Each structure stands twice: as C-alpha cells, then as structure tokens.
Amino acid sequence: MKYADRITLNPKQGGGRPRTRGMRIRVNDVLEMLVAESETGTQIVLR
C-alpha cells in the first residue's frame, strides 16, 4: 500500500490540511508527535 492511498485532502475537513483516511487526525499532528517522541505508534492511533 502506498502512503498516498492513506492520505486525503478535503477543504471542508481539518482546515483543508492532509489527514489520514478514515481518522480525524491530521498528518502534521502525527509527524509532530513522532518527532517529539512523546507518544508511541499505538498511542497515536488510539487518540
């Protein structure tokens, strides 16, 4: 599966920012969490 298949853009959702398909979390939020190493992958998904 390609990452592009999991990312959506909709101007009416999430302020038009890229989001993970089927979830309410923005791609930028996931990247910020990973960079900060404040949460594990499981915690990010359960958010």
Instruction: Please write the tens of the pLDDT for every residue from 8-37.
Output: 888 888 788 999 888 888 888 888 877 776
| Predicted pLDDT of residue 6 | 85
| Predicted pLDDT of residue 2 | 74
Pairing status of strand 7-8 against strand 19-20: antiparallel
33-43: string of b/e by CB count within 10 Å (b at 16+)? beeeeeeeeee
And the tokens for 17? 């920012």
Domain locations in the chain? 3-46
Which runs of E-coded beta strand occur in the chain? 7-8, 19-20
Q: Does pTM surpass 0.85?
A: no
pLDDT at 1 over 80: no
Q: What angle do CA 6, 41, 32 make, to 5 degrees?
A: 75
